Structure 1
Amino acid sequence: MSQLTMEAPVLMSEAPAVRGRAVAAVLLAVQFMLILDVAVVSVANPQIQQGLHIPAGDLQWTSTAYTVTFGGLLVVSGRACDILGRRRLFLAGTALFTLSSAVCGLAQQDWQLFVARAVQGIGAAMVSPAALSLLTTSFADPEKRNRVMGLWGAVASGGAVAGQLVGGVLTDTWGWRWVFLINLPVGVLAMLAGRYVLPRDEERRTAALDTAGAVTLTLGTVLAVFGISRTAEHALDALAGVSFAAAVVLLAMFVRRERRHDDPLVRFGIFRNRSLVGGNLVSVLNAAAALTTIFFTSLYMQHVLNYSPFVAGLAFAPVTLAILGVSSLTDRLVAAFGVRTLLAAGAVLTGAGLLALCAMAVDGSYWTTVLPGLMLLGIGQGLGFAPGMIAATDGVPDDEQGLASGLVTTSQQLGGAVGFAILASVAASALPAPDSADPVALIHSYRVGYLAGLVVPALALVAALTLTRGRAAGPASTISSTKAKGETV
């Protein structure tokens, strides 16, 4: 009997830890799937175009249809989490994403793929802020919260880079349809596990979602994202200009309505939280630096060093490992140095990585002109990604964690898109001819893009030093109430 009584407390103490790890595993697996789907399609696009006979001018919609709905619905979905329930939105979004992935993989015509990709984006927009807010509210202990946020950062930033590799492997071995069909087992397992391990939604307050505000915000954001994507593909043409103008009008209408609404979709008082503002700014800038660096470096390896898409994707593997390694140490690094110091160090290393990549040459090699710069940038991203998200959700009440999560996820999506559109346009303007294939001219163009991109980590450094706190306090909620749920790691 004495042995049983001694073992019982041990088993009881282990149960919450096991449950906490299960919660984190489900949320991280689905987030990795969402981020992977942004990058993985770019590698498969040539096979997709050939398989479905998509005209060259329409091929962009394989990516744009997803990013427009994903980026455009994040804030609304984040607020819906706070009102309708995080678990409920996570499971519904995962189901929608999984089903639409199957439709993508089975598509027989281009329009079917485009529509299914748009629905995928809607599902992703429902899942991402729900998953992040579930993480921030489930782990109250600062050390454990920082640990899972580090893993979240590793998944989010590493997934974007790993997409290049995974896309190349799947496309070369099984064909482009498996870029989408691979989501099915992950999605189904996540739904089954999520029903059992995710914390149930508490009784929600009776307030209804501000429908008119949601419509104007969604349409305005979707049009803004479309304008950015259009500009990146076709420069600033008439359609992009109209999209931007309509977005400005709709977003102005949204702000006017929200300031007068008794229960607004976005409470603008949340922006008085300096850490939230700083975290969002750093997240915007980190995403811009990462996406544009991947873009220019991929072009250099394929057009100058003559690497195949698969080999170019494989070249990012060490960077992925660096990001995963650094992000896994987030809890210890935050405890030792604080959020502000990590964000500043990440910005400095990102800038150093961009400068190192400027040394690329026609007779360069992966080991001397690519890997050093990418590793510096990878370490910088690893140091900055998770702390940026910690800062962006720091001090936010539990009942607004969904909104805060939607805001920071939107910052990452729009930051990458805006940074890519601007810096790609700057680099293209340095080419002597739009379709120039001269390696010297191409390298000059990429170098101009890298040098112009130095403003991004410089702004991130300023934002980190002036707007973020040295130590994050976590969500503004009572720790004891969250611990009572037994959701620890």
Structure 2
Amino acid sequence: MEVLMPEAGSNLLIRERLVLTVLLAVQFMLILDVSVVSVAMPDIQRGLRIGAGDLQWVATSYTLAFGGLLVAAGRFGDMFERRRMFILGTALFTISSLACGLTWQAWQLFIARGVQGVGAAIVSPVALSLLTTSFAEGQKRDRVLGLWGAVASGGAVVGQVAGGVITDFLGWRWVFLINLPVGICACVAAYLLLTRETGQREASLDIVGALTLTIGSVLAVLGISHMADHGADATTSGAFAAALVSLAAFAAQERRHGDPLIRFGVFRNPSLVGGNLLSIVNGVVVMTAIFFSTIYMQHVLGYSPVEAGLAFAPVTVVILLISSQTERLVAAYGVRTLLVAGALFNVAGMLGLLMMRIDGNYWSTVLPGLMLLGTGQGLAFAPATIAATRGVPDDEQGLASGLVTTSQQLGGAVGFAVLATVAAATLPDPATADNVALIHSFRIGYLAGLALPLLSVLVALILIPGRAPESKVAAEPIPPKPAEKSRKSHSNL
């Protein structure tokens, strides 16, 4: 048995922390970019003279590329070395961020944002799979996934603040240009710190599977984006129908292919399925609360965009504090208990936000509900990711990471679009709705959304193993693979 000298152990610990810092910094950049751009949208529209009908493409072009490629990109990381894919994706995202900041016409920005989405789709699942394969299941992985959860859930809220400040003081171009130093440093650090993976399995690229999955995912995202603005009209229905046809063709292809892009046997892992379902609920709750609360503060309470962004700062602090304790909380109570507790806090938070009224104020009608939701997110976000990647072999962690990232991003977007459509349907005329009608529509949206965290309690109790069997799930991946390599704690460092 090899004995590590103290100096060698210390160097390994430093290396682990540096790698973790790089991965978290890039993930924070990706999450932040989405929310800061949404805050800067009015300034972008004025600066590039974008028509009202075309403005959606600033966000949609990014979302289509990002959401459509997540699962495939995560699987490609399993096949073609995660280090290479991480550097490629980060470089692509950084270069396209520069292009976004230098554009002078709307069509240039739309294309650059699409390329940004491709880079983000490559980086996000690969970064998560680098974490899960670099740290063995147990306390150390729970700790780093807690930090990952803090970055993922807190970054969206931080972006509301940063977007307003950057746009007001530096101009809208800097919401893209701030990515440059982070991206350049991350590429250099990844090249120096991440070692090449050895012993990866040989795989033939399933081109038909990759195309049908990507086309189906892009069409689904297009339907989601269109439904958010136009409801369930003919275009939305057509996009979803075409997506189902493409995804059905993908499923048929995977069953025939000798080395499929996605091995459907992975879904026999109940923890993975439950973690993804719970990630969808968490995404819906966050997006719904941020959207409705922001509109309430700006339209009813008269807050400026910067003030509305700063109003989310206490929620960010709560999420960061709780997520930083994930390792201890999981060790003390188990993943399932935290997921149930998080769901109950989400219910309480949505009930709290139902208190909004015309004569309300931030301290009594907004902050209490947001703080309860922040507590729920802090308790549930990282444990859902832990559950979704638990019991999965190292050579399929990219797939698992792509699935859970898709659940968090697209699942949340689907649920939010449905709730927003339900809320808007109660307005007699959305263009001329007064504050009373707006508040009524928000309450309808929150009431409809209450079913999701309540259902997530049942999902957690049924699909997520309790504390006693957890070690068994970690030790015996479901389903076992004959050719699977033994898991190593630091295979990528």
For this structure pair, what is the TM-score category when the shorter chain's length is used for normalisation? over 0.9
1:391 aligns with 387
The reply on whether 1:401 has 2:397 as its aligned counterpart is yes
Which amino acid is the alignment partner of residue 488 of structure 2? T
Quote the Cα distance in structure 2 between the aligned partners of 1:152 and 1:475: 23
The reply on whether 1:260 has 2:287 as its aligned counterpart is no
Contact 1:93-1:123 within 8 A present in 2 as well: yes
Contact 1:137-1:475 within 8 A present in 2 as well: no
2:488 aligns with 482
Q: Post-superposition shift, 1:241?
A: 2.0
Deviation digits for residues 351-386 of structure 1 (CA, Å, limit 9, x no counterpart): 100000000111111111000000000010011100
Quote the Cα distance in structure 2 between the aligned partners of 1:352 and 1:396: 33
Contact 1:90-1:126 within 8 A present in 2 as well: yes
Q: Which structure 1 segments of 5+ residues have no match?
A: 1-7
1:422 aligns with 418
- Match runs of 1:8-407 below 5 Å: 9-140=5-136, 142-407=138-403
Question: Does the C-alpha gap of structure 1 residues 86 and 235 become closer, same or farther in structure 2, counting only changes over 3 Å?
Answer: same
After TM superposition, the structure 1 stretch with the greater mean CA deviation from structure 2, 183-192 or 458-467, is 458-467
Which amino acid is the alignment partner of residue 322 of structure 1? V
Question: Does the C-alpha gap of structure 1 residues 74 and 486 become closer, same or farther in structure 2, counting only changes over 3 Å?
Answer: closer
Quote the Cα distance in structure 2 between the aligned partners of 1:27 and 1:128: 9
Quote the Cα distance in structure 2 between the aligned partners of 1:480 and 1:18: 25
Deviation digits for residues 365-420 of structure 1 (CA, Å, limit 9, x no counterpart): 11110000000000100111000000000000001000000000011111221111
Quote the Cα distance in structure 2 between the aligned partners of 1:481 and 1:364: 55
Q: Post-superposition shift, 1:479?
A: 11
1:3 aligns with none
- Match runs of 1:447-458 below 5 Å: 447-458=443-454
**Structure 1 counterpart SS, 2:5:** helix
Contact 1:398-1:476 within 8 A present in 2 as well: no
After TM superposition, the structure 1 stretch with the greater mean CA deviation from structure 2, 230-239 or 298-307, is 230-239
The reply on whether 1:440 has 2:475 as its aligned counterpart is no
Question: Does the C-alpha gap of structure 1 residues 483 and 403 become closer, same or farther in structure 2, counting only changes over 3 Å?
Answer: closer
Quote the Cα distance in structure 2 between the aligned partners of 1:437 and 1:475: 56
Contact 2:164-2:309 within 8 A present in 1 as well: yes
Q: Post-superposition shift, 1:195?
A: 0.8
The reply on whether 1:463 has 2:469 as its aligned counterpart is no
Contact 2:103-2:109 within 8 A present in 1 as well: yes
Q: Post-superposition shift, 1:440?
A: 1.2
Quote the Cα distance in structure 1 between the aligned partners of 2:339 and 2:87: 33
Q: Post-superposition shift, 1:21?
A: 0.5
Deviation digits for residues 39-77 of structure 1 (CA, Å, limit 9, x no counterpart): 111100000000000000110111111111111101100
Instruction: State the Cα RMSD in Å.
Output: 1.6
Q: Post-superposition shift, 1:236?
A: 2.1
Quote the Cα distance in structure 1 between the aligned partners of 2:110 and 2:490: 45
**Structure 2 counterpart SS, 1:434:** coil
Deviation digits for residues 174-228 of structure 1 (CA, Å, limit 9, x no counterpart): 0000000000000000001111112322232221221100000000000001100
Question: Does the C-alpha gap of structure 1 residues 433 and 58 become closer, same or farther in structure 2, counting only changes over 3 Å?
Answer: same
Q: Post-superposition shift, 1:481?
A: 5.7
2:407 aligns with 411
Q: Post-superposition shift, 1:9?
A: 3.0
Q: Post-superposition shift, 1:435?
A: 1.6
Q: Tell me the percent identity.
A: 64
Contact 1:279-1:388 within 8 A present in 2 as well: yes
Question: Does the C-alpha gap of structure 1 residues 350 and 105 become closer, same or farther in structure 2, counting only changes over 3 Å?
Answer: same
Contact 2:90-2:123 within 8 A present in 1 as well: yes
Q: Post-superposition shift, 1:482?
A: 2.3
Deviation digits for residues 424-477 of structure 1 (CA, Å, limit 9, x no counterpart): 011111112222341111111111111111011112111111101134444868
Which amino acid is the alignment partner of residue 88 of structure 1? R
Quote the Cα distance in structure 2 between the aligned partners of 1:305 and 1:352: 23
Which amino acid is the alignment partner of residue 317 of structure 1? A
Deviation digits for residues 264-284 of structure 1 (CA, Å, limit 9, x no counterpart): 111110000000000000001
Quote the Cα distance in structure 1 between the aligned partners of 2:380 and 2:293: 21
Contact 2:197-2:492 within 8 A present in 1 as well: no
Which amino acid is the alignment partner of residue 482 of structure 1? K
Contact 1:396-1:475 within 8 A present in 2 as well: no
Which amino acid is the alignment partner of residue 49 of structure 1? Q
Contact 1:285-1:459 within 8 A present in 2 as well: no
Contact 2:271-2:465 within 8 A present in 1 as well: yes
Q: If the length of structure 2 is used for normalisation, what is the TM-score?
A: 0.95
Quote the Cα distance in structure 1 between the aligned partners of 2:198 and 2:175: 37
Question: Does the C-alpha gap of structure 1 residues 36 and 57 become closer, same or farther in structure 2, counting only changes over 3 Å?
Answer: same
Quote the Cα distance in structure 1 between the aligned partners of 2:329 and 2:476: 22
Contact 2:133-2:490 within 8 A present in 1 as well: no
Q: Which structure 2 segments of 5+ residues have no match?
A: 478-483
Which amino acid is the alignment partner of residue 193 of structure 1? A
Deviation digits for residues 319-368 of structure 1 (CA, Å, limit 9, x no counterpart): 01111111000000000000000000000000100000000111111111
Which amino acid is the alignment partner of residue 208 of structure 2? A
Contact 2:133-2:489 within 8 A present in 1 as well: no
1:5 aligns with none
Quote the Cα distance in structure 1 between the aligned partners of 2:485 and 2:9: 17
Quote the Cα distance in structure 2 between the aligned partners of 1:442 and 1:484: 52
Contact 1:275-1:468 within 8 A present in 2 as well: yes
